[in-house]
Structure 1
Amino acid sequence: MLNPVWLHTFRTLVEVGHFTHTAEKLNMTQPGVSQHVQKLEQSCRQSLIRRINKRFELTEAGRILYDYALQHAAREQALLAQIQHDDPYQGDCRLACSGSMALWLYPQLLNLQQQHPLQIHLEVAPNHRIISAVANGDIQLGIVTQPPIDARLSAQLLGDEPLCLVLPKRYQDKPITVELLQQCAMIAHPDLEHYLQLFLNKCGHPGFDSCHSSDFPVIGYINQIHQILQPVRQGIGATVLPLSAIKAYNHQQDLYIAPTQAPVTEALYLLQRKHQPLAQRYVMLKQWIDQHWQQMASASQ
């Protein structure tokens, strides 16, 4: 790697065109300027200048190095400008959430990206991977359904997301019983066991709280979040999903969301590293996510 101080001296010498004047401009001695040039020549293993009396001419290697020195100075200025100007609506944004949350969040982020020069990178992952990615600094913000125990992280409660039992339309207005749900059978997905157990524990329907998710037969499985509701729409089985995933589905009118005796919700947390100051674009993004989530939650009530 070329010494940046020597490189700066060489670039100044080429632009000033005189050793003594270069030394004066850089508050150096003339022998110091000569020494920097000699050290660069040793590093490059090429002669950079050819002295002609009190003047000098650049060699071909010297011209190439001067062009490099200009590019290096320009990159350094651009870097300093970027560091000093922390624009809340420009730059790279890396965040992660569950697949069901992404169905709601990603279209909202695209709208934001259309308005501002942001680069949005949204990772869809389970809770444990999101927590690990935020803790390791690979992702700056994460949305999860459980507060982390990792001391490196801080969590802000975003709100409570409703969990919904979704059935084929033919079950509309029928009493929701254990027998009906067993008869309907379940469309499984990676989070069904967790969601279904929460629903059984909290929904308030008689007999549900004494059931286990394994008590209900599975008639199909799909691990693509945007496809989970298709077999429900076609009357094949039921499933449990967050409300945000259902609202992102284009055929909600063909589904039946079963009423509950008590609210069934799951808490959502917004994660970041505890002692790492966020760039302004992430501060903006946290506020923006919180605002849009609250708007969506209010509209759902």
Structure 2
Amino acid sequence: MLNLQWLRTFSTLAELGNFTRTAERLDLTQAAVSQHVQRLEAELGPLLIRRPRQLELTPAGEALLYYCAEVGAASQRLQQRLSSADAEQGDISLISPGSIGLALYPHLLELQRTYPGLHVRHRFAPDSEVLDAVLQNRFELGLLTLKPDDKRLSVQQFAEEPLELVVPAGVHVDSWADLERLGFVDHPDGQAMAARLLSRRFPGAPGVRSLPSAGFTNQISLILEPVSRGLGFSVIPRYARLSFARPELIQVIQGGQEVIDTLWLIHRAEWPLSARAARMLEWLNGYF
């Protein structure tokens, strides 16, 4: 591993472009600055082109400067992890599917407003990406719709979320023919969700693939826009429907056997949650 002091000297020199000013900022002699650069160049090759009143980085110098930034970011992350006992300072990282994410995000913002020292990092992602992100330690917490069986994970139930058949306000849906007249507004999980719910509501019907298409969007917050304008129907998780800004323009068709998904909270089992992550879960438990 390269000497951290040498790296600090090099990154400061690249920023200031001057040996004298670098030495002054770092409280070193100019000879020490030169020595640090020479030792790096002995290991990595030429890093600087020295011109009168100007320094230019070589390609190796540019690569080393990028490496310095990565080391600095890693050091910052290490400090945050080592300060995990502080429940009111530092980063909170959560990755979740879109529907529950829409419901969570306003509460996460309120948490951050209540505790300004907390910084919430939230990402929307499908189950496969959630699982990988938590296993690779890119996010401390994740939510899944399918319960994992990986022994590296701690898994607990977080919430339940029914699937809902959503149609334009004022529209009557009593039969499969009513759905055919409306058409299906699809989304990335739409076919699978609709097949699960509609097969129970309308047993013996041809199936969702036989329905006319009324559009497609991959943005979960936009799925109900065409529905609200009378352009079709969709099947979505409840939290996505509850987050829609104009609920008076849509309605949920009740009846029949429900399809309810369990949302699972995951984190790495080998070490305890940080105090700030525990604070976030305590906060969210008041809403979910």
Change (3 A) 1:113 1:3: closer
2:145 paired residue number: 145
**Given that residues 163 and 199 in structure 1 are in contact (C-alpha distance below 8 angstroms), is that contact kept between their aligned partners in structure 2?**
yes
Q: Which amino acid aligns with 1:229?
A: L
Name the aligned partner's letter for residue 110 of structure 2.
N
Residue 151 of structure 1, CA deviation: 2.4
Per the TM alignment, residue 136 of structure 1 is displaced from its structure 2 partner at its CA by: 1.1
Q: What is the TM-score normalised by the length of structure 2?
A: 0.70
Alpha-carbon contact 2:94-2:140 (below 8 Å) kept: yes
Q: Considering only aligned residues, what root-mean-square deviation do their CA atoms show, in Å? A: 2.8
Distance apart, 1:273 and its partner CA: 1.1
Q: Would the alpha carbon gap of residues 59 and 216 (structure 1) be closer, same or farther in structure 2, given more than 3 Å must change?
A: closer
Q: Deviations over 1:53-81 (max 9, x none)?
A: xxxxx9835998xxxxxxxxxxx9xx889
Q: Are 1:200 and 1:209, in contact at CA under 8 Å, matched by a contact in 2?
A: no
Amino acid of the residue matched to residue 108 of structure 2? L
Shift of residue 95, structure 1, vs aligned partner: 0.8
**Pairs within 5 Å for 1:1-301:** 60-61=29-30, 83=82, 86-116=85-115, 117-171=117-171, 174-202=172-200, 205=201, 207-208=202-203, 211-293=206-288
1:188-239 deviations in whole A, cap 9, x for unaligned? 111101211221244xx3x336653313222201111111111001100000
**Aligned equivalents of 1:103 and 1:80: distance in 2?**
30
Report the alpha carbon displacement of residue 85 of structure 1 after superposing the two structures with TM.
Answer: 7.0
Runs of 4+ in 1 over 4 A off after TM superposition: 1-4, 61-64, 79-82
Letter in 2 for 1:126: P
Counting matched residue pairs gives 223
Mark the runs of 5 or more structure 2 residues left unpaired by the alignment.
6-26, 34-74
Superposition deviation, residue 176 in structure 1: 2.5
- Report the AA paired with residue 106 of structure 2: P
Tell me the distance in 2 between the aligned counterparts of 1:200 and 1:129. Answer: 28
Aligned mates of 1:238, 1:81 — CA distance in 2: 46
CA distance in 2, matches of 1:134, 1:270: 11
Unpaired stretches in structure 1, ≥5 consecutive residues: 5-57, 65-75, 294-301
Distance of aligned partners of 1:3 and 1:211 in 2 relative to their CA distance in 1, 3 Å threshold: closer
2:214 counterpart SS class: strand
The change in CA–CA distance for 1:132 and 1:81 in structure 2 (over 3 A counts) is closer
2-structure distance, mates of 1:161, 1:193: 18
Once residues 120 and 238 of structure 1 are traced to their aligned partners in structure 2, the CA distance between those partners, rounded to angstroms, is 34
Q: Which amino acid aligns with 2:157?
A: L
Cα gap change, 1:269 to 1:80, in 2 (>3 Å):
closer
